Amino acid sequence: MAVIGVCTLLNHAAVSEDLLVQIYNAFDPKRPLEPDSPFYVTCHDVRGQENIINEVGKNIVLSDQPTYQLYTGHRG
């Protein structure tokens, strides 16, 4: 089931609590998805191929004022 489908289900009043529990527990945040998983979403088109270290580093080094950078996740 696509992420949009899950969001639609969660907002639908007729969804049973048992179904919500099944959906919630179907995902294990400690186990990464395989690239061929139907739940895997590639973000290359919107993220681009830029080197995040260079981009964040440039913001820090070139700024005359303190900067705040938040980097989460990974490209793998």
Rounded (5°) CA angle 38-43-46: 145
Amino acid at 28: D
Say whether pTM exceeds 0.75: no
Tell me the pLDDT tens digit for each residue of 31-69: 887 878 887 777 777 767 777 778 888 888 999 999 988
Our measurement of the distance from residue 14's CA atom to the centroid of its chain's CA atoms, rounded to an integer in Å, reads 27
Pull the structure tokens for residue 57.
Answer: 């580093």
Q: Where are the domains of the chain?
A: 3-62
